[in-house]
């Protein structure tokens, strides 16, 4: 047999107590004061999707920055070679590459002196058919993955081997 608690409350307080108990039990709860478990799980899932997407964009951004840096260095190396070739006389251009003074038309380049090859630069010089006393110059710079690939293979189809810089110019004397 259950015991009944003896209460001395007034009817106004009793009504207030009943409303409070209904809110605590969840009956007729018209003003929720918190989130349910399902709402919390769904919001966590949405936040996770947003963060994963942002992390993926961040990774793609880093990869694009690295590629951009590599292309900038390759263009610099090609332009550097052209600037050097423009200082040469017609006789020196005809004799290029002069191994006696350290010139090369196929170089593996380590730009930061860390012992690893960063680029492969190929230089081609031919007498120009269109300009008298002129030279057609082609500079191709490839990533280090192709340092052991045959030169003719790279020159024939540079796009297939991911050329990083391709400059074709004419030097006249």
pLDDT tens readout for residues 94-117: 999 999 999 999 999 999 999 999
Q: Which of 145, 144, 54, 74 is closest to 108 using CA atoms?
A: 144
pLDDT level of residue 14 (50, 70, 90 thresholds): low
Residue 27 has pLDDT above 80, yes or no: no
Percent of the chain exceeding pLDDT 70 equals 81
pLDDT of residue 47: 95
pTM over cut 0.75:
no
Query: Which residues, 6 or more positions from 30, have their beta carbon under 8 angstroms from its beta carbon?
Result: none
Q: Which of 111, 116, 112, 92 is closest to 103 using CA atoms?
A: 92
Look at 134 and 23; give whichever has higher pLDDT.
134
Region 14-30 average pLDDT: 56
The per-residue pLDDT of the chain, averaged, comes to 87
> Residue 81 and residue 83: Cα distance in Å, rounded?
5
pLDDT level of residue 20 (50, 70, 90 thresholds): low
């Amino acid at each position: 047999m259950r015991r009944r608690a003896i209460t001395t409350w007034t009817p106004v307080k009793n009504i207030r107590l009943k409303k409070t108990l209904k809110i605590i039990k969840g009956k007729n709860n018209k003003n929720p004061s918190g989130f349910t478990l399902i709402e919390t799980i769904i919001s966590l899932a949405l936040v996770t999707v947003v963060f994963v997407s942002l992390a993926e964009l961040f990774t793609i951004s880093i990869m694009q920055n690295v590629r951009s840096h590599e292309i900038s260095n390759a263009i610099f190396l090609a332009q550097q070679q052209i600037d050097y070739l423009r200082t040469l006389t017609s006789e020196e251009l005809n004799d290029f590459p002069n191994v006696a003074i350290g010139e090369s038309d196929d170089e593996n380049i380590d730009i930061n002196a860390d012992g690893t090859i960063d680029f492969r630069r190929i230089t081609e010089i031919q007498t120009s058919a269109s300009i008298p006393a002129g030279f057609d110059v082609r500079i191709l710079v490839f990533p280090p993955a192709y340092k052991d690939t045959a030169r003719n293979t790279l020159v024939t189809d540079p796009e297939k081997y991911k050329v990083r810089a391709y400059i074709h110019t004419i030097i006249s004397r």
